[in-house]
Structure formats: structure tokens, C-alpha cells
Structure 1
Amino acid sequence: MGNSTGLIVPRALLGEIGLSVGAVMDLQVKDGKLVASPVVSPARAGWANAAEAVAEDTQEAAAWRAFPNEDDSALTW
């Protein structure tokens, strides 16, 4: 981005810390050394936004309502 450069890390080193190609890393300078740490996102990150998108009343959602399951009438919501 902007005035940045890339860093090539051997795949074997990534594997040693449980990462794969394309993993997001946090870079910091500590005591004159460049320290790279994996960025770990919280479990279920983004699920709330995805659920909101699914719940939106779209034309596609309306079409799916035309295909009920056999026992839908017995369900209590």
C-alpha cells in the first residue's frame, strides 16, 4: 500500500508457526528487529453482518418462501 514493499517468507517457516500463504501478519520493530506475528481474528468474526445480509428481505428470499418443508406448519416461531 502506498510506499510499502513486500516481504518473502519461506513456506516452511510459515508452516512452523501454523500459517499458510496469504496469511495476515502484524509487523513491529522491537530492539532493532522486525517481528512478524500472525493476526488472529476472533472466532465467528463477521457472522453478525453475514446473518443480517441473509435476513434482508430480498426477491430471492421471497422466492424461497414458496418452497416450504412438510412440517413447517407444526413449528412455533
Structure 2
Amino acid sequence: MGNSQGVIIPKPLLAQLGLEGEIEMVVEGDALVLRKPAKKSREGWAEASQKLADVGDDGLVWPEFANEDDEPLVW
């Protein structure tokens, strides 16, 4: 895992805590806390993207630039 460390948490323990699927991990003081997320990941992104498109503010933030050796690629 590179420079990270892994922890295996038994699935039955997560199920007992109701932490199946996505979880939120935060540091509180000297503790690592796992909990159900307040909202789902990417919740509201589709609606926010549509609003940006509706007002024409959905252009690229970074200008397009090619990587070296991209010339022969078909996009």
C-alpha cells in the first residue's frame, strides 16, 4: 500500500455498527473515528453540474494541452 498502512476490520463488526458500504473516516483528538457519512459521496453533483451548464459556466478551468506523444492518438 505504498507509504500507507492497512487495517482489516471484520465485515460482521462493520455490519453490527451499521457501517456497510461507504464510511467516513476522521481524526478526533487521538482517535480514528469511522461513521456513516452525513451524505452520500457526490450527492448533488449532477444537479450542480446541470446548473453550471444552464448558465454557460461549464467551460474548462484548465486549458486543453496535449501530453507528449499524444499526436497519434484518436480521441
TM-score range, shorter chain: 0.3 to 0.5
Q: TM-score, normalised by structure 2?
A: 0.40
Q: Rg larger in 1 or in 2?
A: 1
Give the number of the structure whose residues are more often helix, by fraction.
1
